Structure 1
Amino acid sequence: MAVAAVQRAAELSEDYIYASTFAETADPLGRLNGIYTKVYDMHASMHRSEGRCRGCPFVNIGVELATTTEEIRIGVGRAFARFTKYYQAIADELPAAGDKSDLGASLMANMNGCLVASKIENRPEAILDGQARALRIVGL
C-alpha cells in the first residue's frame, strides 16, 4: 500500500510541478525557475496555514523506511528518477558549456536539499535559496 501511495504521489507531483511547468514555457531557464516557484508557493501556503514546512514527502518516507523496506527505497528512487529527467532536459537545453551529463542529478539533489533545509529551518524561503543555487549549478 505504501509503495502505491509513493507511486501515486510521484504521478501527482510530476503533473502539478514538472509537466505543467514544461507545458507553460519552452525556455529552459523559465522551466527551472517555474519548478522552484511552484514548489516554493506550495510550501509557503502550507507554512501560512499550518505554521510549519513539511519538506519533501519522498525524502521523508525514504529517509525513514529505505533501510528497512526495499520496496519503498525502490519506489522513492523511481520517483526521483522521474523528476530528474525534467532537470536533465533543462540542463541539456541551456547554453552552458561543458559536460552536462550529470546536471539533472545535481539539480534533483539540490531540490531535495533545499526541501530538507526548509523543513529543518521551518522556512519556505530555503527553497528560493536553492533556486539561486540551481542557477549556479548550471553555470548561470
Structure 2
Amino acid sequence: MVRISKINVCFEATSVYGLTVCTYKDAFFAELISHKPLPGVAWLASGDFNQIYRARDKNKRNINRSRINWFRAALQSCELKEIHLQNRRFAWSNERVNPTLCKLDSFCNVEWDTTSDTHVLHALSSSLSDHCRLLLADDKGPR
C-alpha cells in the first residue's frame, strides 16, 4: 500500500516484470489477476509486462494475436485500463541494427483514475538501458 500523506491518498502499486517465455504467460496472467485488490481500493500496475496490448504497440508485424487476447482478458478481469504514454510511441528497443521497438504499459483501475489528479505518463531518455525511464506525474507535475 502506498500512502501520499500530503494529499491523503492511498493506493496499491504493483511493479511488473513479465516473463518472456511463452509457455509461462498463462501463469503470469494468473498471477497478475491474483494481485487485484479488493473493490474500492485504487490500483496502479506498471512496468515491463513483456507483452503488447495492441498490435500497434510494436513496430514489427510478427505478433501473437492470441497472446494479445489473453493479456486483454487478464486486464479486463483485473478491471485495469491503460494510462497513455506521452511524447514517445515506444519505450523499449532491442538495440539491433533493424530494431524491434515496443511500448511498455502502465495500467490503473477506475478507483486510482478517479482519486488521483489528472495523470500523464512521460517517457524520459536513457542512454544506459534498452528501456526508457517512465515518469508518472499529475497535470501540474514536472515537464
User: TM bucket by the smaller chain?
Assistant: 0.3 to 0.5
Give the number of the structure whose residues are more often helix, by fraction.
1
With normalisation by structure 1, the TM-score equals 0.35
Give the number of the structure whose residues are more often strand, by fraction.
2
With normalisation by structure 2, the TM-score equals 0.35
Which fold has the larger relative contact order, with Cα–Cα distance below 8 Å and residues 6 or more apart in sequence?
1
